C-alpha cells in the first residue's frame, strides 16, 4: 500500500529499561516506503531514572507522577533540540508506568502539548490507549514497522525485540503477521545487577556467563500461566515475581534470570504458524553474549543481531514510533487483530499542534 504523501517524522522512545531517549528521523508514506535518516541516543541521568523508577506501577496522577512527567518531557524537549532535525510530525511514546490490558488500563506519561509547543512541531502521543479501550492488548506496537522493513527478506522470519520486556514479530508468507510479548527481556537482569552490584546492566552478559542456572527455580517461573496463553498477549515489566533469585549468589542469579529470558523465547515457538528460517534480534538484549549464546543453543536455528540485514538495533523502536506517527496522521491502523488482539484494525494516537 502506497500513499502519495510522504512525511518526515521524528520518533521518540523511552523504554522500560530507562536508558534514556532514543531519537530517530524517518521518511515514510506510512506504507511500504521507509527510509531511516538519522538516529541519536540521549541517556538519562541517574536522578531522572530514580524518579521514573519510583513511579512504576502507579495508576494515579499524584505529585510524584506530575514531577516525573515534567522532568521526562523536559528531557525529550532537550533531546529534540540537540538532535537538530526538523520534521512534519513527532511520534512521542512517553514513559510506560503501568500496562494492565486485562483491566483495560495502560498509562504512558509525557506532556504532548508542551512538547509540541516547545519544539514547534506537531506531536502524536498516547499510541496505546485506544487499542486497550477497544479490548486490545495495546502492545506490541512496532510489528507493522518490522513488516515494512522486512518486505525484501526471506520468510518465515522472526524478529525478537529484547528491551525491558521481550516481544516477537513473526512474519510469514505474504502479509502473514503475528506479534506478542514473549516474556521478560532485560528488565529482571538489570534490576538484579543494580541491586547486587550497583551496575546499570550485565555488560556483555559477563556475570551470567560465570554462573550456572538454577533449574528448579527456572521450572517454577516457566510454569507461569502466561506461557500457556495463546497470543496476542502482552506484559508489564512488573508482571514477574522472581523474588526467589535473592537466595542465589551473584553469577547464578544473573545466569538464571538470563536463562529465563532465553527459555521464554523457546516457549513462544509453539505459537508460531511455521518454524522461522532465522531469528533477528533487536534491542539491548542483542548485545548480551549470554542471551545470544543461549538463544542459539535452545532455538537450534540461525540467530543474529538485526545489523546482519543492515538495520540499526538501537534505533528500531524509535523509528517504529516515527512510522506510527505517519500512519496516525494518515488515519491508517496502528494495531491489528494479529498484533494486539483488537477486534478490527484500529488507528489511534492523540494529536497536539504547536
Grid cell listed for 106 = 495502560
Is residue 2 predicted with pLDDT exceeding 60? Answer: no
**Mean pLDDT of the region 122-150:** 97
3-class secondary structure, 130: helix
What pLDDT, on a 0 to 100 scale, did the predictor assign at position 106? 94
Q: Report how many helices (DSSP H) and strands (DSSP E) the chain contains, helices first.
A: 12, 13
- Nearest CA among 31, 77, 5, 15 for reference residue 323: 31
d(CA 181, CA 160): 9
**Buried/exposed code over 237-246 (b: 16+ C-beta within 10 A; e: otherwise):** bebbebeebe
Across the chain, mean pLDDT equals 96
Q: Provide CATH 3.30.420.40 ranges for the chain.
A: 7-140+313-352, 149-309
What pLDDT, on a 0 to 100 scale, did the predictor assign at position 249? 98
What pLDDT, on a 0 to 100 scale, did the predictor assign at position 327? 98
Binned at pLDDT 50, 70 and 90, residue 4 comes out as confident
d(CA 20, CA 317): 13
Is residue 309 predicted with pLDDT exceeding 90? Answer: yes
Edge-to-edge strand list for the sheet holding 165-171 = 177-184, 165-171, 157-162, 278-282, 303-305
What pLDDT, on a 0 to 100 scale, did the predictor assign at position 259? 99
- Nearest CA among 198, 170, 202, 168 for reference residue 186: 202
Binned at pLDDT 50, 70 and 90, residue 59 comes out as very high
Over residues 16-32, the pLDDT tens digits come to 888 999 999 999 999 99
d(CA 264, CA 242): 14
**Mean pLDDT of the region 88-116:** 96
Is residue 139 predicted with pLDDT exceeding 90? Answer: yes
How many C-beta atoms surround the C-beta of residue 255 within 10 A?
26
What pLDDT, on a 0 to 100 scale, did the predictor assign at position 304? 99
Is residue 87 predicted with pLDDT exceeding 60? Answer: yes
d(CA 224, CA 74): 39
Q: Give the single-character DSSP code of 337.
A: H
What pLDDT, on a 0 to 100 scale, did the predictor assign at position 1? 47
pTM for this structure?
0.94
Binned at pLDDT 50, 70 and 90, residue 3 comes out as low
Alpha helices (runs of H) in the chain, residue ranges in sequence order = 46-53, 63-83, 112-119, 129-133, 143-149, 187-197, 206-209, 215-222, 250-268, 289-299, 316-329, 337-340
Cβ–Cβ under 8 Å, residues 134 and 346: yes
Over residues 243-294, the pLDDT tens digits come to 999 999 999 999 999 999 999 999 999 999 999 999 999 999 999 999 999 9
184, HSE (Cβ side, Cα atoms, 13 Å): 26
Strands 177-184 and 165-171 turn out to be antiparallel
- Nearest CA among 299, 267, 257, 256 for reference residue 281: 299
Cβ–Cβ under 8 Å, residues 212 and 233: no
Per DSSP, what are the bridge partners of residue 7? Answer: 28
Q: Tell the CATH topology of 149-309.
A: Nucleotidyltransferase; domain 5 (3.30.420)
Cβ–Cβ under 8 Å, residues 165 and 16: yes
**Mean pLDDT of the region 105-110:** 96
Pick among 3.90.1010.10, 3.40.140.10, 3.30.420.40, 3.40.50.1360: CATH of 7-140+313-352:
3.30.420.40
d(CA 215, CA 219): 6
CA 320, 323, 329, 334: dihedral to nearest 10 degrees?
Answer: -50
Over residues 184-239, the pLDDT tens digits come to 999 999 999 999 999 999 999 999 999 999 999 999 999 999 999 999 999 887 88
Amino acid at each position: 500500500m502506497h500513499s502519495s504523501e510522504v512525511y518526515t517524522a521524528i520518533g521518540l522512545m523511552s523504554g522500560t529499561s530507562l536508558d534514556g531517549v532514543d531519537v530517530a528521523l524517518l521518511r515514510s508514506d506510512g506504507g511500504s516506503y521507509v527510509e531511516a535518516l538519522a538516529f541519536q541516543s540521549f541517556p538519562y541521568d541517574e536522578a531522572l531514572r530514580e524518579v521514573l523508577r519510583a513511579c512504576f506501577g502507579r495508576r494515579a496522577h499524584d505529585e510524584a507522577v506530575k514531577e516525573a512527567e515534567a522532568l521526562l518531557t523536559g528531557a525529550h524537549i532537550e533531546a529534540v533540540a540537540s538532535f537538530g532535525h526538523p520534521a512534519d510530525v513527532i511520534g512521542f511514546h512517553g514513559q510506560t508506568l503501568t500496562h494492565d490490558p486485562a483491566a483495560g488500563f495502560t498509562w504512558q506519561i509525557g506532556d504532548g502539548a508542551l512538547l509540541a509547543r516547545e519544539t514547534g512541531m506537531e506531536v502524536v502521543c498516547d499510541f496505546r490507549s485506544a487499542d486497550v479501550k477497544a479490548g486490545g492488548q495495546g502492545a506490541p506496537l512496532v510489528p507493522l514497522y518490522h513488516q515494512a522493513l522486512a518486505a525484501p527478506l526471506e520468510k518465515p522470519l522472526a524478529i525478537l525485540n529484547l528491551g525491558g520486556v521481550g516481544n516477537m514479530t513473526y512474519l510469514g508468507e505474504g502479509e502473514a503477521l503475528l506479534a506478542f510479548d514473549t516474556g521478560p527481556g532485560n528488565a529482571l537482569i538489570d534490576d538484579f545487577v543494580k541491586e547486587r552490584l550497583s551496575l546499570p546492566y550485565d555488560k556483555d552478559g559477563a556475570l551470567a556467563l560465570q554462573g550456572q542456572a538454577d533449574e528448579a527455580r527456572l521450572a517454577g517461573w516457566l510454569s507461569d500461566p502466561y506461557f500457556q496463553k495463546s497470543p496476542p498477549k502482552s506484559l508489564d515489566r512488573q508482571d514477574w515475581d522472581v523474588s526467589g533469585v535473592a537466595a542465589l549468589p551473584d553469577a547464578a542469579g544473573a545466569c538464571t534470570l538470563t536463562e529465563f529470558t532465553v527459555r521464554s523465547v523457546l516457549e513462544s515457538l509453539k505459537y508460531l504458524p511455521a518454524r522461522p528460517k532465522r531469528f533477528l534480534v533487536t534491542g539491548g538484549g542483542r548485545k548480551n553474549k549470554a542471551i545470544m549464546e543461549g538463544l542459539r543453543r535452545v532455538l537450534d536455528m540461525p540467530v543474529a543481531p538485526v545489523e546482519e540485514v543492515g538495520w540499526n538495533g538501537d534505533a528500531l523502536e524509535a523509528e517504529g514510533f516515527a512510522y506510527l506517527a505517519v500512519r496516525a496522521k494518515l488515519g491508517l491502523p496502528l494495531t491489528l487483530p494479529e498484533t494486539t488482539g483488537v477486534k478490527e484494525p484500529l488507528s489511534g494516537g492523540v494529536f497536539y499542534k504547536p
